[in-house]
Amino acid sequence: MDNAIQKIETDMNKKVTIWDVFAVIIALIPLMYLYCIYDKLPAIVPTHYGADGKPNNFGPRSEMYTIGGILSGMSILLYLLMKYLPAIDPKKQVKFGERTFQKLGMGITIFFAAINLCIILAAANKGLSIDKALIAILGLLFVFLGNIMYNIKPNYFAGVRTPWTLEDEGTWRATHRLTGKLWVTGGIIVTLERLLIPSTTGVHIFFACIIIMSLTPVIYSYVYFKKHHAKKNI
């Protein structure tokens, strides 16, 4: 037990790298931008948006610091989680793919920063619709995650974590190969449709893509596990 605690403390004391500095800077860029334009913001700004990209809640401009701070804080926390996964991963598999998780943490940081900037820009430019930008950014995130999926080792924190992928490493690999291809393709479709197709039709395509990308890996992991374990038991 003492050795395990000591190992965790050692991992948590890793030196700060240039990537850590970049991640923090990227996370804070929206707040720095908000500080620069704060006096130019209207007294009342949109603070929440509906699925159609139109604001459905408003508040004083000071709330932008709260929103921006939460998004920046979440991105930094998630980045740190990805960095220190080897210290808390009970499977001890993350240590073989630390670079992959570092890339994942950086990608998540950039995603949150982009969302944060979109919200600030919408507050600064009255009437600016951000639905297309937000969904396009989400589509690009899926493209990024799809490329990462090929290299994620079995773990309890990231990836397609179903009872069947966590039980069998072969099922994990096969499911993540499929998920990678599916998410890259789906991410490209989501990004392009929000930029090229009218909003009403685009919303239906978006939700259809999300449902397919979410359910297909789960179903596939079950089918693959049952099929290959049935062969082993014969």
**Residue ranges for the chain with pLDDT beneath 70:** 1-14, 50-53, 86-97, 127-129, 198-202, 230-234
Tokens of 207: 């939700």
Sequence ranges of the domains in the chain: 1-128, 130-234
Question: How confident is the model at residue 26, as a pLDDT?
Answer: 95
Question: How confident is the model at residue 108, as a pLDDT?
Answer: 92
Long-range contacts of 25-28 (CB under 8 A, 24+ apart): 26/75, 26/106, 26/109, 26/110, 26/113, 27/72, 27/75, 27/76, 27/79, 27/109, 27/112, 27/113, 28/72
Amino acid at 216: T
Question: How confident is the model at residue 233, as a pLDDT?
Answer: 53
Per-residue three-class SS string for the chain:
CHHHHHHHHHHHCCCCCHHHHHHHHHHHHHHHHHHHHHHHCCCEEEEEECCCCCEEEEEECCHHHHHHHHHHHHHHHHHHHHHCHHHHCCCCCHHHHHHHHHHHHHHHHHHHHHHHHHHHHHHHCCCCCCHHHHHHHHHHHHHHHHHHHCCCCCCCCCCCCCHHHHHCHHHHHHHHHHHHHHHHHHHHHHHHHHHHCCHHHHHHHHHHHHHHHHHHHHHHHHHHHHHHHHHHHC
Tokens of 162: 């179903």
Amino acid at 102: Q
Question: How confident is the model at residue 82, as a pLDDT?
Answer: 82
For 114-131, how does the pLDDT look when each residue is reduced to its tens digit (9 = 90+)?
999 988 888 888 756 677
Question: How confident is the model at residue 193, as a pLDDT?
Answer: 80
Q: Would you tell me the crossing angle of helices 169-196 and 199-233 to the nearest 10 degrees?
A: 170
Tokens of 189: 């479709």
**How far is the C-alpha of 198 from the C-alpha of 95, rounded, in Å?**
45
Q: Model pTM?
A: 0.77
